[in-house]
Amino acid sequence: MDRLAHLFEEEKHKNKYADQASVLGDYKELIRLHWSDSKKTLDLVLLKLYLTFAQAFFDYGRHSDKLLLIKKPIPGSPEQYLVERSVVHEPKLGFVEDVYGYNSLFPLMLRLLPPESDALTHTLSSLVDPEVCNNVQSANVDILFSLFKLMWTEYGLRSISRTSPYYDARNTEHDPPYWRGYIWININYMVLSALKYYGSLPGPSQTTAQNTFLELKRNIVTNMAKEFNRTGYIWEHYDDKTGQGRAPLFSVRCCSVGARMMSSYDVIGSDDELVSHSY
């Protein structure tokens, strides 16, 4: 908006948007307001699993996940009813740490993280190795790990972690879990763009960003090509369990970013090993 204001000579808005851009781009404020260092634990079969997303960016506000949708009959219309929300536990002020998903990746996508920052290292670690848990002693470790996949899938990044109580849950009675699990191509494209950017900058996370870029792009493009061959369409979002395309049948923006992901645009640097293949 700041650039547009200058481009169209909107004098009264130039300083306004510049000031807002400066505030929103302040890394120290971003960390102060949205970075959580708390260690979250989860008990399962008498084991404590320490999940890697304990250190991450989260929304902050009044929050409670203890809600119910209760059907109440309409007086005089016994076959009709209203659905009202009932709060079981009152909301508390704090980080919304039970939702690890696309929201937690926006600082990465918008390139707000310094290349040498710990926040970038932790964010990339949650993408690259989302199943890492500590202090687990069990003969069925692989089975347990499979239960705690966060966002990474063989088809792209799902919109919300499988560990969240909101994963694959309906928003309301008539609203399916639109952004609660599906793989959205527009967001995955933004993540790829950010990974390309950080892979070009010297720092402790450079190699991780480069490798993650290649693996993620391979997963997304391979699945999009497979579904295009199966259905004849490039889809806006894909099922995170099967990789199958979801509605709508044809999306101009997703066709555009899909074609761009398949092109040589997404090559990092000039190293031949980083040149990703078109599908």
Higher pLDDT, 64 or 206: 206
Torsion sign across C-alpha atoms 43, 46, 48, 49? negative
Residues 47, 74: one domain? no
pLDDT at residue 195 greater than cutoff 80: yes
Domain membership of residue 47 (yes or no) is yes
**Closest C-alpha among 83, 44, 95, 91 to residue 66:** 91
- Cβ count near 238 (within 10 Å): 25
Residues 68, 202: one domain? no
pLDDT for position 33: 93
pLDDT at residue 278 greater than cutoff 70: no
Domain membership of residue 271 (yes or no) is no
Distance, in Å, from the CA atom of 191 to the CA atom of 105, rounded to the nearest integer, reads 8
pLDDT tens-digit map of 33-86: 999 987 554 444 333 343 434 588 999 998 887 878 788 888 888 778 888 878
Give residue 138's pLDDT band: very low, low, confident or very high (50, 70, 90).
very low
pLDDT for position 201: 96
Higher pLDDT, 172 or 243: 243
- The amino acid that residue 269 corresponds to is G
pLDDT for position 26: 93
Residues 32, 82: one domain? no
Residues 206, 125: one domain? yes
Helices (H), 110-205: 118-128, 141-147, 185-199
pLDDT at residue 230 greater than cutoff 50: yes
Instruction: State the CATH number of the domain containing residue 49.
Output: 1.50.10.10
Residues 29, 47: one domain? no
Domain membership of residue 206 (yes or no) is yes
Give residue 248's pLDDT band: very low, low, confident or very high (50, 70, 90).
low
Residues 2, 112: one domain? no
Residues 79, 215: one domain? no
Domain membership of residue 273 (yes or no) is no
Residues 79, 102: one domain? no
Domain membership of residue 132 (yes or no) is yes
Residues 158, 249: one domain? yes
CB 37 within 8 A of CB 55: yes
Q: Given the structure tokens 């919300």, which residue do they identify?
A: 160
Domain membership of residue 269 (yes or no) is no
Q: Which two tokens stand for residue 30?
A: 């971003």
Count the helix, strand and coil residues of the chain and give each as a percent rounded to the nearest 5. Answer: 40, 20, 40
Residues 131, 28: one domain? no
Give residue 257's pLDDT band: very low, low, confident or very high (50, 70, 90).
confident
SS (H, E, C) 184-224: EHHHHHHHHHHHHHHHCCCCCCHHHHHHHHHHHHHHHHHHH
Q: Which two tokens stand for residue 37?
A: 């260092």
pLDDT tens-digit map of 112-130: 999 999 999 999 988 864 4
Domain that holds residue 7: 1-36
- The amino acid that residue 236 corresponds to is E
Integer CA distances (angstroms), 133 to 47, 105, 130, 139, 279, in order? 11, 20, 9, 14, 34
**Closest C-alpha among 110, 103, 123 to residue 205:** 123
pLDDT for position 249: 62
Domain membership of residue 251 (yes or no) is yes
Q: Number of folded domains in the chain? A: 3
Residues 67, 183: one domain? no
Residues 163, 213: one domain? yes
